Structure 1
Amino acid sequence: MFKSFIITAVRNLLRNKTFSFIHIAGLTVGITCLIFIMRYVSYEQSFDKFPLEAKRTFRVTGSDYAQTPVPLCGSMKEFFPEIRQTLRINKLPRKLLSCGEKKFYEEGIILADPSIFDMFSYKLSKGDERTALDGPNSIVLTARMAKKYFGDENPLGKILTMDGWLEFQVSGVLKDAPQNSHLRFDFLCPLSRAKEIYSSPDFFDNYMNTFVFSYFSIEKSADVSSIKNRMEQFEKYYAAKMFFPFSLKFSLQPLTSIHLYSNLGGELEPNGDIKYVYIFLSVAVLILLIACINYVNLSSARYMTRIKEVGIRKVVGATRIQLAFQFIGEAFIVSFIAALLSLILVRLLTPFMTSFFGNEEALRSTSGSVLAYLGIITLLLGFLAGVFPALFISKFQAIRILNKAILFRESRINLRRLLVMFQFSISTALILLTIVINNQLSFIQNKNLGFSKEQVVVIPVEEGEVRQQHRALKNELLKDPSILSASFSSAIPGSVKWVTSFHWEDQKSQNDNTLNFIASDHDFLKTYKIQLASGRDFSEGFTSDEKRGYIINRAALERFGWKSPLGRRLELASRPEGRVVGVVKDFHFKSLYSKIEPLCIFIDPGAAGYLSVRIKTGDIHSVLSYMERTWKKFSSGRPFEYYFFDDYLSRLYGKEQNTGKLFVCFSAIAIFIACLGVFGLVAFTAEKRRKEIGIRKVLGASTFSIVKLLSGEFMLLIIAAAIIGCPVSYYFAQKWLNNFAYHVNITPWIFLAVILIVALMVLSTILAIAIKAANADAARNLRYE
């Protein structure tokens, strides 16, 4: 009997090739999308769950920044006896590491307390975790870095030199750390070395020194809510130790929530965002829902044509249960074929989809849960598509079926219409979201940011000869007539993340005493073409500028409440009191997610992390060659690395650009699947109404009237779908736009464009069949039986 079911199912699939293709294609595309997104979601939710004590581990943060003062962990251990151990981590800026002739710039270097091995459950393939960070000169590196610097040799005991003068001895090789962690690194050094690296004798004692990420784990019997309830008391306890009375706020984050729920300033790595997880998951479910609606709609419609087959089977002895198994079995076969094809598609498309999701690791990992969901969905799809004929058609008596005494209620046809309308409501919403996202990305790319981003080459600068000879290097570069200006600075627009404590003239409150800053030389404003609102730029003609000159932006001016800012006193931490010499027009020194905040610029080229060079348009290759030759004169063998500033700004919004691409892709898929469904339903309707169309043609109906007859109902459904889908998508689009401090507005023209796009796509699908049906030979249609 089972063999008979299979043979009959295959025959039906081959007999109705068009509808079989629509069934399988729609489900295959829907399941493929679901697998990709489930892989992504599964990966994002797996972050930081590998440590053995992950559920009892927490990070302490400030109100706006992830970094906290260095002495904080010690104070917390004193105040909260339920804390088992603490951990401080500092991430170093890019450093030059060398071993013999091998020299590489490395960014994945962290300093940490020895407790990192216990708290994060890291294991060494070579060396001992208990003693790996005991020596001040110790360094632990990943297996990949060991291979890079030492090849197949045993790296233990070998020497790595940092920036040409700081020596470290390899004490351990880490099994490559999991990628699904907010803490990623290639080199691990003891935090005790920070005094030397930062040339800061009071690194561990300065209560305002916010250079570390602070973690703690609690005892098994402890309750973290008790710590949260006493945080306000602790903040007063900590503030009492400080030299200046500041208002401090600390927050606790579970380790497992950092990646998706934390987007503070100064994070170790760019984190994920739970909103995007929900968005992509919703899109996957909606696309699969469209495919399911197609499947159920077309299946139920096609099964109406098999009513005579059911009657004959009943006459020859088939029971209702056997008929039910027949229909459900056919649906399961279609679902199974679609699932197999989707697995093949996933394998083929993974390299391509990686560029959309921006994470190869996420898409290449298939967890057991993803495969389990795939199995459940395959079974569920088969059941939903087969249950209608199994329970409804099979219940009728054979004599009624063969005498054509069965009439199907209008309510079942209305249900089919509602499902079609729901499909296109989803498609309309996705298209509107796609248009809004791409408009916002275009807005970001073209917005006046308050500075000039073109024709600027940025060279990262580390400690060493380049900083010490910054003036000579700059003067040498300016000898080339193609170089218009150059500036050393601690940050470039878009990368400002450091703040400092400060006091200003006529200050009335001690709260929120932090200020964004850029330390630069005299030509920062000139190089980035930042405009002055009042006062003057820094000048070498004013010797006081180097120690006591400050330039602020208009946002700072508003915060200070000054009407006449020039000459006003301002004092920053670790700097002498100075005076404001100029005010610049507000410019976006952070991303467009943030409103423009108060900013102070002062001269300190020795703190430079970047060399920005503005060049003329023309022969860029020859200018870069000159810059490289000049760099080598002053860098003592340091590699010359650079990037263009406008490329850097584009990368700032990589997540949004990937989201825009994904929505274009998913919207196209949703429309494709929905149009497949409409194609199938119109084809079925045209087939079912062949005699009616023939009679109308004989009575003189034109091709246009026949097309109108077949397409009119669907076009009304599309308009109704747009009316439902547009308000829903407007709500979610506006929520997404609110993440940006500066964004586009959603205008009525967008809604009209969406309705027009959907209507044109559906109409083109319908016309292909409607015109064919209208032009068919009427005589042949009238004698089709």
Structure 2
Amino acid sequence: MFKNYLKIAFRNLQRHKAYSFLNIAGLAIGMACSIFILLWVQNELSYDRFHKNADHLYRLTASVEDFKAAVSPAGMAAGLQSELPEIESAMRISKPATVLFETGDRKFEERNVLYVDANFLQVFSFRLVKGNRSTALQQANGILITENIAKKYFGDQNPIGKILRKDNQENVVVAGVLANAPSNSHLQFDIVAPMSAIATTNYDIKNSTWGNFDFYTYIQLKKSAAATNANLLGLAAHINNIFQKHNNSLKVAFHLQPLTSIHLHSDLQIDLPGNGNILYVNIFFAVAIFILAVACINFMNLATARSARRAKEVGLRKVVGASRVQVMLQFLGESLLISFVSLCLAVVIVWLLLPAFNHLAEKNLSLHLLDSHMLLTLAAIAFCTGLLSGSYPAIFLSGFTPATVLKGKLKPGTGNLLFRNGLVITQFVVSIVLLAGTAVVYKQLNFIKDKNLGFNKSNLLYINMTGDLWSKQQALKSELQQNPYTSDYTVVSDLPANLTTGTVDVQWEGKDSRQQIVVPSIDIDEHFMDVFQMKMLAGRSFSSAFAGDTSNYVVNEKALAMMGMNVDEAVGKNISFADRKGTIIGVVKDFNFKPLQYAIDPLVLRLNRYGGIVVVRARAGATEATIHALEQISHELNPAYPFTYHFLDKDLDNQYKGEQQMGSIFNLFAILAVFISCLGLYGLSAFMAEQRTKEIGVRKVLGASVFNIVYLLSGSFTKLIVVAMVIAVPVSYVAIHHWLNSFAYRVDVSWIFFVVACVAALVIALLTVSYESIKAAIANPVKNLRTE
């Protein structure tokens, strides 16, 4: 029996080639899209799960009122472990540092160096390729390098025991080689060094401070400590109490963030770069389901529309004794066959296009067909798709009464028109929602790119003070000033791009003693306002003509609002910032110094007394000459360090890399979803035109024009698209608002987005339907009527 079903299924595929092609192509593209998305989603959900102790590892985070940060003080790791028996071990990781390393003629600045506690390899399961796991981080002058770095510095030589010169000051020894950090790890590094290497120079480490939040603290709970929500909340309360014993001046709430939640659930400031967003995972998972559903709808629509062609077959089978269940199994078998053929084609599509998708998503995804879990997943997708797409046609076709169909009294489409119309509407609801989403994503990303941040970000390039530049600042400024290409410069402590410094130690007259607001600061010089082209609203900026400016401050509008002042009265008011009393001498117009996901915070600007980053505004058309001039100055004053420079606008664009990738992927799959819908609509329109051949011939003989015929065949589909518009607009409005809420600054959701999406869907649908309609309308009516 099964062999017979299979034989009939293959014969039907061969007999109706166009119908089979549309079904297989639609399902294959839908499956391929879903596989791509599911590979991406699986990768996003897999972050940090490769660690042996992943279920028992947590990161300590802190919040002060609305300010939530991923960092904690240096003294907390050891302090908490000594007081809380539930903790198996605790360790700290520094913020990524930039360090110069040299061996022989190879010298590079490594921008991804982490300083970690000695138990780093015991807490985390990063693979050590060479070296002793238990002792690799015990020596203060020992370092761990990744395989890429080992190749970069030592080629094919064994790097263990090799010497690297660090910052032109000291030698370090390669104590181990780590496998390159897995792409699904929130911790990304090139070189790992022991915390003891900076223990004598770092104030916070040396004094085990409980006030400066500069380190990422990870806690491993004992397996006996059940990680329930109640227990974690209780443990966090104990941590808060311990912190208050060491620092009662700060009202901080600490939380334990599961390691496996860091990548997708971190809306924290001062976090490590590269985190994802659970919202995007949910969006793409829904898109994968919708695209597969659209492909299944195509199958159901075409199968039910062509029901009359299979009616006599069903009647004959029932007459010779086939039960309804047997007929249902036959049609389900056909749909499963088509589904598995489509799966094979989809796998080929994914295999061919995966490199391009990886480039688009900046991932390293792979399709492991020999993996049993992957094979089961793919088989489950094909089985569910076949079952879903074939279920209604099987139920519908198997319900035909033999006497009725054998007498030829069954009218095409009778009894299933409403269902087919509902499926078409569903397809285009999905398509319109995705098109509207595409328009808004494009608009929002352009808004971010073009938004006025409160300063002119174009043509700004910068170099970090390294090596001898710290001790030659006066000579550096003199060289910069004398060169016409670099004379428009400023020296700042931090870039106004993603500011991570701040304090609650701000005092002013009339302040509520219970108020604790984290206020960031930037140290600037007298050229800052001119170079960044910012606007002063009152008073003045810092000037070399005023020696007392070392104790003066410039604040932004938000800071004035925080202190209950207005622009006209602020200048001359006394404030204290980080225990340093001073006077407000100016008010600068608000500008964005954090990504646009965050609203502008209060900001205090201080006179720069230490150095940090040199920012130069290049003249239009003279960028290359400015870079060359900076390179000459750097080589002259700092010959031991390689010259490196960066553009501020590129750094700002990189802050929204995740959104840009999401937008590109979303646009791609939205287009494919519309294409799959049109594929089914084309098949449906072709079949409807074929069924009405005689009617069209009669109408043309009686004088109907081509336009009349096209309108006749397209009108029913147009009505369905209009119904889809009515449903899709409120659905897309809610979904779009949900996404835009993740941005503090966002575009207004205008009606034009929905009009464009609806008109686009209507035009695409009409173009799809019109081809077959026009083809039927211009056919010779005499020939059509004669063949009847």
- TM bucket by the smaller chain? over 0.9
> How do residues 213-612 of structure 1 correspond to structure 2 at under 5 angstroms?
213-224=216-227, 225-242=230-247, 245-312=249-316, 323-359=327-363, 361-362=364-365, 369-394=373-398, 396=400, 398-406=402-410, 410-462=414-466, 464-506=467-509, 507-545=511-549, 547-563=550-566, 564-573=569-578, 576-604=580-608, 606-608=610-612, 610-612=613-615
Instruction: Indicate how the Cα distance of structure 1 residues 578 and 193 shifts in structure 2: closer, same or farther if over 3 A, else same.
Output: farther
Q: Is 2:35 the partner of 1:31? A: no
Q: 1:172 aligns with which of 172, 176, 181?
A: 176
Separation in 2 of the partners of 1:265 and 1:78? 28
2:18 corresponding residue in structure 1: 18
Give the alignment's TM-score, normalised by structure 2: 0.94
Deviates more, 1:201-210 or 1:680-689: 201-210
Question: What does the per-residue CA deviation read over 1:442-466, in whole Å, with 9 as the maximum and x for residues that have no partner?
Answer: 211222110001111122333x212
Separation in 2 of the partners of 1:673 and 1:537? 60
Separation in 2 of the partners of 1:146 and 1:32? 38
Q: Is 2:188 the partner of 1:184? A: yes
Question: What does the per-residue CA deviation read over 1:71-111, in whole Å, with 9 as the maximum and x for residues that have no partner?
Answer: 11233224322111111111242111112321111122111
2:760 corresponding residue in structure 1: 757
Aligned amino acid, residue 479 of structure 1: Q
Q: Is 2:133 the partner of 1:129? A: yes
Tell whether the 8 Å contact from 2:459 to 2:623 is kept in structure 1 after alignment: no
Aligned amino acid, residue 629 of structure 1: Q
1:316 shift after superposition: 7.0
2:711 corresponding residue in structure 1: 708
Tell whether the 8 Å contact from 1:39 to 1:370 is kept in structure 2 after alignment: no
Separation in 2 of the partners of 1:404 and 1:461? 89
Tell whether the 8 Å contact from 1:452 to 1:528 is kept in structure 2 after alignment: yes
Aligned amino acid, residue 20 of structure 2: S
1:145 corresponding residue in structure 2: 149
Question: What does the per-residue CA deviation read over 1:631-671, in whole Å, with 9 as the maximum and x for residues that have no partner?
Answer: 11112232222232222222221111222222221221111
Tell whether the 8 Å contact from 2:97 to 2:114 is kept in structure 1 after alignment: no
Deviates more, 1:713-722 or 1:518-527: 518-527
Separation in 1 of the partners of 2:540 and 2:360? 46
Q: Is 2:666 the partner of 1:663? A: yes
Q: Is 2:771 the partner of 1:783? A: no
Instruction: Indicate how the Cα distance of structure 1 residues 377 and 208 shifts in structure 2: closer, same or farther if over 3 A, else same.
Output: same
Tell whether the 8 Å contact from 2:300 to 2:393 is kept in structure 1 after alignment: no
**What is the total number of aligned residue pairs between the two structures?**
778
Instruction: Indicate how the Cα distance of structure 1 residues 468 and 304 shifts in structure 2: closer, same or farther if over 3 A, else same.
Output: farther
Deviates more, 1:774-783 or 1:226-235: 226-235
Question: What does the per-residue CA deviation read over 1:327-362, in whole Å, with 9 as the maximum and x for residues that have no partner?
Answer: 333322321221111111112212222233232x24
> How do residues 36-51 of structure 1 correspond to structure 2 at under 5 angstroms?
36-51=36-51
**2:161 counterpart SS class:** coil
Question: What does the per-residue CA deviation read over 1:284-337, in whole Å, with 9 as the maximum and x for residues that have no partner?
Answer: 111111111001111222232122344455667777666545433332232122
Tell whether the 8 Å contact from 1:522 to 1:540 is kept in structure 2 after alignment: yes
Separation in 2 of the partners of 1:189 and 1:750? 52
Aligned amino acid, residue 157 of structure 2: E
1:395 shift after superposition: 5.2
Aligned amino acid, residue 675 of structure 2: F
Deviates more, 1:222-231 or 1:699-708: 222-231
Separation in 2 of the partners of 1:291 and 1:21? 13
2:684 corresponding residue in structure 1: 681
Separation in 2 of the partners of 1:767 and 1:437? 31
2:731 corresponding residue in structure 1: 728
Aligned amino acid, residue 33 of structure 2: C
Aligned amino acid, residue 745 of structure 1: D
**1:555 counterpart SS class:** helix
Q: 2:635 aligns with which of 628, 632, 637?
A: 632
1:645 corresponding residue in structure 2: 648
Deviates more, 1:426-435 or 1:617-626: 617-626
Separation in 2 of the partners of 1:157 and 1:713? 78
Instruction: Indicate how the Cα distance of structure 1 residues 159 and 261 shifts in structure 2: closer, same or farther if over 3 A, else same.
Output: same
Separation in 2 of the partners of 1:179 and 1:389? 45
Aligned amino acid, residue 211 of structure 1: D
Separation in 2 of the partners of 1:150 and 1:571? 52
1:692 corresponding residue in structure 2: 695
Aligned amino acid, residue 152 of structure 2: K
2:77 corresponding residue in structure 1: 73
Q: Is 2:741 the partner of 1:738? A: yes
Instruction: Indicate how the Cα distance of structure 1 residues 67 and 756 shifts in structure 2: closer, same or farther if over 3 A, else same.
Output: same
**2:182 counterpart SS class:** coil
Deviates more, 1:451-460 or 1:161-170: 161-170
Separation in 1 of the partners of 2:665 and 2:173? 46
1:605 shift after superposition: 5.2
Separation in 2 of the partners of 1:123 and 1:469? 43
Instruction: Indicate how the Cα distance of structure 1 residues 305 and 167 shifts in structure 2: closer, same or farther if over 3 A, else same.
Output: same
Instruction: Indicate how the Cα distance of structure 1 residues 363 and 724 shifts in structure 2: closer, same or farther if over 3 A, else same.
Output: farther
**2:520 counterpart SS class:** strand
Separation in 2 of the partners of 1:533 and 1:80? 52
1:483 shift after superposition: 3.3
Separation in 2 of the partners of 1:295 and 1:74? 62
Q: 2:616 aligns with which of 600, 613, 617?
A: 613
**1:27 counterpart SS class:** helix
Tell whether the 8 Å contact from 2:305 to 2:413 is kept in structure 1 after alignment: no
Instruction: Indicate how the Cα distance of structure 1 residues 294 and 561 shifts in structure 2: closer, same or farther if over 3 A, else same.
Output: same
> For structure 2, which runs of at least 5 residues remain unmatched after alignment?
none
Aligned amino acid, residue 354 of structure 1: N
Instruction: Indicate how the Cα distance of structure 1 residues 566 and 236 shifts in structure 2: closer, same or farther if over 3 A, else same.
Output: farther
Separation in 2 of the partners of 1:91 and 1:168? 20
Tell whether the 8 Å contact from 1:565 to 1:580 is kept in structure 2 after alignment: yes
2:58 corresponding residue in structure 1: 58
Deviates more, 1:718-727 or 1:134-143: 134-143
Deviates more, 1:147-156 or 1:248-257: 147-156
**1:779 counterpart SS class:** helix
Separation in 2 of the partners of 1:388 and 1:561? 67
Aligned amino acid, residue 12 of structure 1: N
Aligned amino acid, residue 422 of structure 2: L
Instruction: Indicate how the Cα distance of structure 1 residues 75 and 228 shifts in structure 2: closer, same or farther if over 3 A, else same.
Output: farther
Aligned amino acid, residue 474 of structure 1: K
Aligned amino acid, residue 57 of structure 2: T
Question: What does the per-residue CA deviation read over 1:578-616, in whole Å, with 9 as the maximum and x for residues that have no partner?
Answer: 3222111000011111110011121235351x3211011
**2:482 counterpart SS class:** coil
Tell whether the 8 Å contact from 2:553 to 2:605 is kept in structure 1 after alignment: yes
Instruction: Indicate how the Cα distance of structure 1 residues 594 and 321 shifts in structure 2: closer, same or farther if over 3 A, else same.
Output: closer
Separation in 2 of the partners of 1:586 and 1:755? 39
Deviates more, 1:247-256 or 1:322-331: 322-331
**2:173 counterpart SS class:** strand
Aligned amino acid, residue 41 of structure 1: V
Aligned amino acid, residue 168 of structure 2: G
1:623 corresponding residue in structure 2: 626
